[in-house]
Structure formats: structure tokens, C-alpha cells
Structure 1
Amino acid sequence: MPSGFMIEIKGKPVKIEYSEDDIHVIGLMDMPFEWIKQGSKSVEIRANSDVRPFDYSVIKPGHILRLINEQTGESLERHVIRVDHYQTVKELLNIEGMENTLPTLESVAEAIELIHSFPGYKQGIVKYGVYAIEVM
């Protein structure tokens, strides 16, 4: 898969979803970024897709995630504690827990609908599965 995906933040191009050795740069929407920053979210949910060509299977425990807020451009780094692969979002949520993944959502059904709404995720999950990346 090609390396990197360009987005625009505050009028400037920013490269996300690429790796430099064992540092992996990924973009997050504002709310999940803040949850991780504040420590209320410990597990990031990611799926390989044909829309954003980053292979999340390269992320391993001991690696670093450099998270970029896609709205503000703020960044922070977290250590990867664990990476688990699941066949479905429902399986991931039932094992990882809503409180660790999507702490403000009320139900697994609501969370599945949200995850499937990201471009390429629904098809990508069917094809590649979905990753739970625990960070600290």
C-alpha cells in the first residue's frame, strides 16, 4: 500500500497515515483526539481500507503513535501497549468495551454505525478486519 495521505488543516497540507520506522502518524477527529489526550479513551479503532491506504498491521506493541488532530493540527505521542485484530466491530466493542473505545456513545449499535460511516471502513472491515490499538 502507498505511504501517506494528505489532508488540509487550517489551509496547510499535512501528511498523515504513514510510518517512520516504529513511529506511526495517524489523524484523528477532534473528539477522539481529546479523549486520548485526557486519558478517557485508551483504545483506538482502526481499519485498513482502499480509501486511506495505510496498513495498520504494521503497528506493534512498543511502537509510538503520533496522533494529529485533523481539525486543529495539534499532535501528541502515545506508546502502543497492545494491538489486537478482530473480524467485526461488534466483536471488538464487546471485548474492548465501549468505555475504552467510544466513551460517550450509548450503545454498541450506535458505535457500529459510527465506525461504518467512515469512508471505506465498512467495506474495509469486511475485507481486512478491524484493529484495536491500546495506547498509554
Structure 2
Amino acid sequence: MKYSLSLNSRPFESIKSGIKKIEGRVPTGLDKNIQFDKFKAGDIIVFTNNENKKTMKVRVLGIRHYKTIRLMLETEGIKRVLSSQGTIEEGIESYNRLEGYKESVKKYGIYAIEIVKI
């Protein structure tokens, strides 16, 4: 299956350079109709950079569901999930600043999508 998702510049560049290996997503905002629980290894995601509209293809290696952002960051590792280094608390704050994430994570949890650039 092929999916299209948008990204801000910093995470886009971090994935492109191979630093960020996990993309955390919840069904909210532009993603509200995407069924992340249906993603599977081998699927393709085309990410579009919100700022310059450049695109990048990645392959899904796996997907895992977590009840909280904290659990995802602790399990997957900050360096693999965040596009900027920091503490778990800073990572939680960063996700909670994204529109609709705080409420949606409480309702749906968060999906950790393991990816590799192709």
C-alpha cells in the first residue's frame, strides 16, 4: 500500500539524513482519516515537506502502537524518534505542541512507524 503524509522541515531532513528512524503519528488533523493500524511492513510512504514541497519515499519496516508518548519514547529511544535531541520530557512537550496531538493521544494512543528512506 502507498500512503502520503506531510512533515515539517526538521523531521523531513532528519529522516532524509537517516537520523530519525521512527515517525510518531496519531489520527488527527490532516491524518484524521488515516488508519495507522492498517500500515504494515513493506508499505510505502511519500512524505511531503510542508515548507518547500519536496518529497521523499520511505519503506515501512514496522509499526507499533503505544498508549502514551512517554512509553513510545522510552521503548523506541529518543534518538530514533525525535528530530531534535533532548529529554523524554522535551519530546513529550514537542508532540503535545502539535495541533490536536495531546487530545488524540489520550483517545487513540500513538503509532510508532519504523521507516527507512528508499
1:44 Cα deviation after fit: 0.4
Summarize the alignment of residues 34-113 of structure 1 with structure 2, pairs less than 5 Å apart: 34-49=13-28, 51-52=29-30, 53=32, 54-113=34-93
2: CA distance, partners of 1:91 / 1:55: 21
RMSD (Å), alpha carbons? 1.0
- Where structure 2 has 5 or more consecutive residues not aligned to the other structure, the ranges are none
Q: Deviations over 1:39-64 (max 9, x none)?
A: 01110010112x33133222211100
SS in 2 for 1:72: coil
> Which one has the bigger strand percentage?
1
> Which one has the bigger helix percentage?
2
1: CA distance, partners of 2:98 / 2:71: 18
Structure of greater Rg: 1
Query: Counterpart of 2:7?
Result: 28
SS in 1 for 2:85: coil
Structure possessing the higher relative contact order (Cα contacts under 8 Å, 6 or more residues apart): 2
- Where structure 1 has 5 or more consecutive residues not aligned to the other structure, the ranges are 1-21
Question: Which one-letter code corresponds to 1:37 in the other structure?
Answer: K
Q: Deviations over 1:15-72 (max 9, x none)?
A: xxxxxxx1010000000000000101110010112x3313322221110011100001
Number of aligned pairs? 114
1: CA distance, partners of 2:83 / 2:3: 24
Q: Deviations over 1:67-126 (max 9, x none)?
A: 100001000101000100000000000000011011422100000011011111111001
Question: Which one-letter code corresponds to 2:82 in the other structure?
Answer: L
Q: Which runs of 4 or more aligned residues in structure 1 lie more than 6 Å from their structure 2 counterparts after TM superposition?
A: none
SS in 2 for 1:34: helix
TM-score by length of 2: 0.92
User: Quick check: 2:11–2:83 contact (8 Å CA) kept in 1?
Assistant: no
2: CA distance, partners of 1:55 / 1:114: 23
